Structure 1
Amino acid sequence: MKSKLLAISWVLIAPTISVIVLLFFLKSTGQSLVGSALAANNQESAPPLVTGIHPGSAPNDLDTTIVITGSGFTAVLSGAQVITTPVVAIGNNALLDVSWVSSATITATVPWGLDTGVYSVTVTNPDGLSSTLSGAFTVTQGIGVWTSDGPYGGAVTTILVDPLTPTTVYATVQAPYSASGIGLFRSLDGGEHWAMIFAEIGNQFHSADLSIPAPSVIYVDKWGEGLYRSENGGDTWVALPAPAGIGENLTPYAHPTDPQVVYAASDCTPGCGGVFRSDDRGAHWSDRSSGITDTQVTALAFDPANPLIMYAGTSNGNIFRSINGGSSWIFNGQPDQFISNLAVNPFGSHEVWAAGADSSGHWGYLWKSSTITWTQVLTATGLENRATSIVFSQAVSGTMWIGTLQGSLKSIDGGNTWEPIGAPAYSINALAVVQSNTQVLYLGSNGQGVYMTTDGGISWVEANQGLAGIYPTGLAIHPENPAVVYATAHGPGTFMTRDGGGSWLRLPSNNAWPRSPVVDPFNPRQVYIGTTNGVNITENDGQTWNWVVLDSPPPYSSCRVELLSILPAGQPGHLVAGVGFIDNSSNSYSFVGGGIYTSTDYGQSWGYVDVGQVISPAAVLASDPNHPGTLFAGTGSCCGNSGTGVWKSVDGGASWSPSGLPVQQITGLAVDPYNSQVIYAASLEKFYISYDGGAVWALKATQDFGMDKLLVVPTIPPTIYQYGWRGMIRSTNGGQQWDRADGSLGYAKIGVMAAHTEEGRVVLYAGTGGGLSSGTVQSEYRDMFSAEDLIGGGVYRNTIRLPSHFIYLPVLQR
């Protein structure tokens, strides 16, 4: 090795003479010079040429691998081993981990911490010849700001196509399997890219509509506030007065031919709902519910041939008909328990079609009627027979499409026969057809976002870029590389990024209810994710998964196990899991108890730990970073009590004992990174501290309801974050004083946070359901907000630069 270093030093000092010296050395040792681009004689070498850099920009808070392309890149080789690579610099900054791939390709790492700006890139070959590409790389601000680029998707509840400009498409999105509305999104290029134009809507079906023939007019409903109108396609908005004082559960329906007229259906408490009409675009309203005996109205539809004929469906499955624009209504049958969608055939007898559901909102079946009698339409078998949306062709008689719980179907004979249109077999919430070109269809899935076809269904692609509708439930950071993160979300499943969230890959975990992901600290290629009845495990960075079942213990033999939290227990292969038990014989999703399991073989088998009494579900776990075998479990509520408090183990989870707060519902737990006697706990809006390892607790603060989770970052002093659906606050003095967290996420809905700390920085990640960054009280921003205030869902990253004197400890936080 010393001889090789000597040869390299000669190359750097005297490149012309060094070739002879190096050749003599290699010859004397029996080695050969293979593939070197250095000349084997005294002739002058050609300089390299840099032609491209990919990517061409990166934030300054993470290391970024770049690929440099060009020609004439050289390296000194010994056999297949590279001895000397070219030197690569961005501006005056030498890059790390330079790798010579070929004479046309080099890879290198741009280190975090550079100043923002545009940089030249220089490649210098071992012979001293170089090439510079000016303005080749841009460093953007990543330190101190929240940034996000996905993952994209979500539960799309409405898709609407602008009838005059069909490349303009609107979609409302909510968090899958949640009542959390994310927002209204707009695409100006036929679904290629999306941008949020209104926040915190989309949590009910048909919550946006277009006025025809004035397609730039949009009406939306924001739950709890009422209706808004935009007259420029969503660029700006104005609040509308509430019909009859009703400010929630409103769904707007624009008149199909009169741009001044808009209707609103209300599905609020019996006695206050109904149908309302405005003749001046929502400025004034009149009650049009006469004859509707069930005023919990969930759907409206117009007869395209005669808009005075209208139909109204209700949450009790009743349908009413009006022949005078809603001035009066008559009963028109009860085909199902809940009416979610109505549509009228524009041809023939103009029969009305309905998509139903049961009283719990689970999708029912497809129905049609030309009188008061309804006939169920059997489209297929299984979930394909459960219709969710109905669209008719406005140009071709008999052609119609439906979305179902398993893809989408098409009929060309008025619904007598049906064929799949090749769409992915996901649950479809919404369907839209470009009427001027019915080969173009959009499907809104219940978790995977938007799918699009331009050939009538022969091929489909995801069309989710910018559709920020994912509300993460769990985050896990690679212990050695903060750019590698796993994110889980109910519905879409599990995602992974290798570039700090710049791009995301959905992993084939086949787990629709993932929670509490953990990267094994001793084997980072192994990842654990909680699920119903067990844990999903991958040993190869998420490429393949196996499912390990957690058996119910005898006290809960009739129950299924819901894994709620997982934590490494300080030794290789040792894990602890907190669970809740749900009675299989009950129709309600409610816990009847909780427990703790341990594994000593990397999650391949689990044993139930009997703690000596019935406890509530072990919803949160925390470990002492200085003594990893000391663990804490926080229990939630169940079984008629608020909770069973905090539990402690000093032997890696083998045994547990109560540790205070016995009747509290614990929603967050953390151990101080520098003092193992200091424990932090959140119980809904209450914040507690113990200074003696959990024996005695003191109430330190009472926050706004909805700030119920904890993350502690090992700065000096530690930074404590408390977060939830009301936003994010922090304390830097041990919880004595709290301030709203800086940046755009201070007021957004935060579902999960995680942190990675290493020398010089803390990399924070937050999973959010979006919101408004300004934090203005909702009733005060009804009339105006800017696009900069809109926060989409997804995973956000923020890197905090630390002073050099800090000591850095790992964060093991759930």
Structure 2
Amino acid sequence: MVCAEERGAFFPDAESAARECGLEHSGPPPDEPGFCCVHGEVFPAPQRVCAGEGGAFSPDPESAEHECGLQHSGAPEDEPGFCCLHGEVFPAPHQVCAGEGGAFFPDPESASGECALFHEPPEHRVEPPPPTVPRPQRAAPEAPPHVAPPIGPLATVRVVNEWVKTGGPIGGLGYDVRYGGADTQLLYVTDNYSGVNRSVDGGTTWSASNQGIRARTGHSGDAIPVFSLTVDPNDPRIVWAGMKGVLGIYKSTDRGQTWFETTPAFLEGKEVVFRGFTVEPGNSRVVYAAAEIPTHDPGRGFDRVRGAIYRTEDGGGSWKTLWEGKNLARYVIVHPDDPGVLYASLGIFDREAKDSACKDVGAVKPGDRGFHAAHGSGGVLKSTDRGASWTALGPAQGLTDLYVGSLVMHPTNPKVLLAGAGNNACSVFHEGGKPRFTGGVFLTVDGGSRWSHTLADDIVTSVEFSPSSPRIAYAGSRRRIYASRDGGESWSVVAGHTYAWGPPGVIAGFPIDFLVDLRRPTTLFANNYGGGNVKSTDGGVTWSLASQGYTGALMHSLALHPKNPDIVYAGARSGLFRSLTGGRSWEGLSHPPAALAEAYSVAIKPDEPNVVLASQEHLGTLYRSTDGGLAWKAVAKLPVQPGTSKGEHGFKRIVFTHNPMHVYAGSATKSNKLDTYPTSHGIWKSENGGVTWKKLSDPKIADVAVNDLAVDPKDFRVAYAATAAHGIFKTRNGGTTWEALTTHRGSAAFPKDVRSIAVRPDRPSTVYAGTQRGGVYASTDGGTNWSFLASGMQPNDPIWSLVVDPAHPDVVWAGSHRTGVYRWDSIEQQWVHFNRGLRTRAVVDLAISGDGLVLYATTTGEGVFRLQLTPR
């Protein structure tokens, strides 16, 4: 397992390993310091790290330089052959194979034989699955090149460090937060991208704890999709975790330090999202699993789903189905004194019941005809025979919102339960021109026979009693935090009175799970769907960040201070953030009135770094700050129709010209997590530093959706726009008129979905373009003709970001949303992956400092990474 994690080649004995690695068996220990040659560059590294990167190790720099020179000028690195990586053989040049950490062979027979030998693991070994992305191979150009590749001689910067995960900013698709039994210093949080994270200091710091979890998903195959987690109340060493997709159930018997899979055999290969686990009090062998069965049938605002409840009676050895229905199951609660009595909550705020009609009839006011048909199946189920039969508790009992995403039992009175209810698509209606909500909090004091709607007009996603003082209870929604001091009979708003709740500058998201301290009723954590983990010590009135060391943030853009690379701004689904410490700590900047819960683009005025522009992804607003992001003013607004499939627009890219009074902003419409619609509201421009804006009127770009913008660093009148469906446009007169660059003769094969564009600072006629399904193109004549820079890049790699080193313009970096970061090897004239330390390779944006010594990358699912570069 260690060998595989280090991307090494595994052998059953030392002699074979030494022979194949080309090392003397008596050579230096793996961690002995020395020097490594990779791709013609020498840097200090232990032997183990050097081997993991496919490099040549030497004990001293002189030998390394000598061997590196021989290797780089002698051995034909581009000689075709075959590569073994993770047990798979594929054709690849030696250079590409080494760059991926694989074992190179000259013929397929040798590769297959040796690969099978060293890939066969011992019985106890748990191997990660192979990446879901295509294997590296030299891509064939889509069109004949028209010019020589416009990248110059040997770069003047070399890399000596790895990517470093900053651990921020806060964000992600959080789900559960749990104590490790009676030990309140041990906590767990789950996140749909970063997996299981564990704290041993009461939530102050966190670290990933996913050893043995083989489940991987996401655009780059790096996300660890853990949804739910439960600690066994009988034995806190036992922890259960549920995945999404076809990735199953995992169990730990050492407090979450290692995991093994225990997925029901009859569910293998079936798509199931495990939403929650419950262990029977007093019997750890009996465990219930609540699940969602996706159908991929679109509803009014979310997919329609089915649900199921499963049970094991042998600690996970075998499972059986107890219930199947037309809405997902979120929680199962076992009566503490009578294990035959079960409750199950159905529904959640962002899925619709399979039989819901709200897509067709819209949201219907309670009491009106068709209301319950609009909701579909849901509510609460109750069983008195251990799940052999179930009774639906719903409108007849007073439970009038059927999307019960949270259900909790009173700590000492099992007849008392609180239900948090509401759905973002089906629980909304309009009254007096204003939105109203059918959800809220429901209370039963007789085991579900009757329910009272004690908190109305909200979509409540989490409820919880205080274990030590159960008259204190909490409820939370995207908008507000509520507290009750009478066991849930009445409620008051404690946070979010006039604006969204959360830590200062942070819009926390949907509180999907609360955890109240076992002894202090005013201390609680909230794990948020879209906002990470936060903590309150005053009963929910104020909140602080509680995610140091981990993040699952879904990122967008980056902007660096022009003179201080430690000052970095980052836009994410969880808001706009700033770091003053090079990413070691982050602060939220979503202060009122900036509704930056989905921060799209951010840009810094180069001559006045305290002037910052930022946009919101769905609501179309562009904001301007003059104090570094502490206060904001709305300066532009796109026409939007929130809640409609094609009506949510935002300024996806903002860019200052070298005359900083002139600024461009390009709009886009988000259709899903990967693609944009082909049309939006075109390109806008400011001529006073972003104070006022106007839409550019050239009909050729009036309704284009813009993915990226780039400007000529010497002539502010020249700019380029990369669009989602119409290729590249260029203006030569400050945006008055635009011309299409990718429809000229000889460039007909140029992809239409262009994701990124960059201009070489010292030679502005050199332009680079990254495409969604076609790699990188380059032009040396200002975009008239293009060549395809395919060598070394995986076929159809989606290049979402391109940056040219401003201090060393021969250096070009490319960010792929599937395979990580590439750097152009100017000697070999090909792209070379540089992913050391980049655990999540779904790169969204890159930004480089003015001196070329610091590179940042934003990712889908693990926040921001930083790479320190060193001059040659």
Using structure 1 for the length normalisation, give the TM-score.
Answer: 0.68
Aligned to 2:696: 609
Asked whether the equivalents of residues 294 and 314 of structure 1 are also in contact (C-alpha less than 8 Å), the reply is no
Q: Report deviation, 1:210.
A: 1.0
In the alignment, which residue of structure 2 is the partner of 1:629?
A: 717
The corresponding residue for 2:277 is 253
User: Structure 1 residues 594 and 696 mapped into 2: Cα distance closer, same or farther (>3 Å)?
Assistant: farther
Shift in Å, 1:446: 5.0
Q: Does 1:693 align with 2:782?
A: yes
Could you tell me how far 1:672 is from its partner in structure 2? 3.7
Whole-angstrom distance in 1 between the partners of 2:581 and 2:488: 48
Deviations 1:155-180 (A, max 9, x none): 54221122321221212235xxxxxx
Structure 2: which amino acid aligns with 1:298? R
Distance in 2 between the 1:204 and 1:687 partners?
Answer: 28
Could you tell me which residue of structure 2 aligns to residue 775 of structure 1?
Answer: none
Q: How does 1:460-609 map to 2 (within 5 A)?
A: 460-491=543-574, 493-507=575-589, 509=591, 510=594, 511-531=596-616, 532-550=619-637, 562-580=650-668, 592-609=679-696
The answer to which structure has the higher strand fraction is 1
Aligned-partner Cα distance in 1 for 2:662–2:670: 26
Question: Which residue of 2 is the match for residue 279 of structure 1?
Answer: 313
- The answer for unaligned runs of 5 or more in structure 2 is 1-157, 218-222, 296-304, 348-352, 354-376, 428-436, 503-509, 641-645, 744-749
Q: Does residue 144 of structure 1 match 2:176?
A: no
Is residue 800–residue 843 contact of structure 2 (8 Å, CA) maintained in 1?
no
- Aligned match of 1:182: 194
Return the alpha-carbon distance in structure 1 between the equivalents of residues 609 and 209 of structure 2.
39
Q: Are 2:383 and 1:322 equivalent residues in the alignment?
A: yes
Rounded Cα–Cα distance in structure 2 between residues aligned with 1:572 and 1:732: 33
- Verify: 1:220 aligned to 2:220, yes or no: no
Residue 859 of structure 2, aligned match among 768, 777, 790: 768
| Paired residues of 2:191 and 2:225 also in contact (CA < 8 A) | no
Match of 1:366 in 2: 441
Alignment of 1:125-524 (within 5 A): 144-155=161-172, 156-173=174-191, 181-198=193-210, 207-224=228-245, 225-242=247-264, 244=266, 245=268, 246-257=270-281, 258-269=283-294, 273-289=307-323, 292-294=324-326, 296-315=328-347, 316=353, 317-318=377-378, 319-333=380-394, 335-348=400-413, 350-358=415-423, 360=425, 364-369=439-444, 370=446, 375-379=451-455, 385-394=458-467, 398-420=471-493, 425-426=501-502, 427-446=510-529, 449-454=532-537, 456=539, 460-491=543-574, 493-507=575-589, 509=591, 510=594, 511-524=596-609
Structure 1 spans left out of the alignment, 5+ residues? 1-140, 175-180, 584-588, 637-642, 771-792, 804-814
User: 1:744 maps to what in 2?
Assistant: 837
Q: Is the 8 A contact 1:472 1:489 kept in 2?
A: yes
**1:374 and 1:634 mapped to 2: Cα distance?**
59
**Cα deviations by residue, 1:279-298 (Å, 9 ceiling, x for unpaired):** 23323222222xx4436433
> Alpha-carbon deviation of 1:448?
5.1
Counterpart amino acid of 1:250? F
CA contact (8 A) 1:720 1:732 kept: no
Mapped to 1, the partners of 2:480 and 2:667 lie a distance apart of: 34
SS in 1 for 2:652: strand
Q: Distance in 2 between matches of 1:706 and 1:330?
A: 52
Judged with a 3 Å threshold, the aligned counterparts in structure 2 of structure 1 residues 724 and 734 are, in CA distance, closer, same or farther, namely farther
Distance (whole Å) between structure 2 residues aligned to residue 539 and residue 397 of structure 1: 47
Offset at residue 273 of structure 1 (A): 4.6
Which residue identity does 1:377 align to in structure 2? H
In structure 2, the residue corresponding to 1:154 is in which secondary structure? coil
1:48-67 maps to which residues of 2 (within 5 A)? none
Return closer, same or farther for 1:361/1:432 CA change in 2, 3 Å cut-off. Answer: farther
Q: What is the CA distance between 1:267 and its match in structure 2? A: 0.9
Distance 1:591 1:515 in 2: 18
Classify the secondary structure of the residue corresponding to 2:848.
Answer: strand
Q: Conserved in 1, the CA contact under 8 Å of 2:440 and 2:455?
A: no
Shift of 1:705: 6.4
Kindly state the Cα deviation for residue 352 of structure 1 after the two structures are TM-superposed.
4.3
Q: Which has the larger radius of gyration?
A: 1
Please state how far the C-alpha of 1:764 moved relative to its aligned partner. Answer: 0.2
Number of equivalences = 614
1:633 CA displacement: 0.4
More relative contact order, 1 or 2 (CA 8 Å, 6+ apart):
2
**Structure 1 pair 578–455 and aligned structure 2 pair: CA distance change class (3 A):** closer
Superposed CA offset, 1:611-653 (max 9, x none): 22354211211123354532110112xxxxxx11110112233
For residues 205 and 222 of structure 1, what CA distance do their matches in structure 2 show?
A: 5
Secondary structure at the aligned position of 1:667 is classed as: strand
- C-alpha distance in 1 between matches for 2:425 and 2:416: 27
Helix, strand or coil: the match of 1:517? strand
Higher mean C-alpha displacement, 350-359 vs 301-310 = 350-359
For the Cα contact (< 8 Å) 1:150–1:504, is it kept in 2? no
C-alpha distance in 1 between matches for 2:236 and 2:537: 22
Distance 1:395 1:690 in 2: 65
Aligned residues of 1:442 and 1:451 also touching (Cα < 8 A):
yes
741 and 496 in structure 1: CA distance in 2 versus 1, 3 angstrom threshold:
same
Letter in 1 for 2:515: A
Shift of 1:239: 2.0
**Aligned: 1:644 with 2:726:** yes
In 2, Cα distance between equivalents of 1:552 and 1:241? 48
Aligned to 2:802: 711
Provide the C-alpha distance between the structure 1 equivalents of 2:537 and 2:319, rounded to a whole number of angstroms: 40
Identity %, equivalent residues: 24
| Gap change, CA 1:240 and 1:748, over 3 Å in 2 | farther
1:397-444: CA deviation from partner (whole Å, max 9, x where unpaired): 654332233443333433222234568834533211123443432233
Q: Distance in 1 between matches of 2:164 and 2:795?
A: 26
| Partner-residue secondary structure (3-state), 2:326 | coil
Task: Confirm or deny: 8 A CA contact 2:697 2:736 kept in the other structure.
Answer: no
C-alpha RMSD over aligned residues: 3.6
Output the CA distance in 2 between the equivalents of 1:142 and 1:441.
44
Deviations 1:740-768 (A, max 9, x none): 3231116533222111242xx43101123
Structure 1 distance, partners of 2:314, 2:179, is: 23
Q: Output the amino acid matched with 1:378.
A: T
- Decide whether the 8 Å contact of 1:402 with 1:409 is kept in 2: yes
Q: TM-score, normalised by structure 2?
A: 0.64
Q: Work out whether residues 570 and 629 of structure 1, in 8 Å CA contact, stay in contact via their aligned partners in 2.
A: no
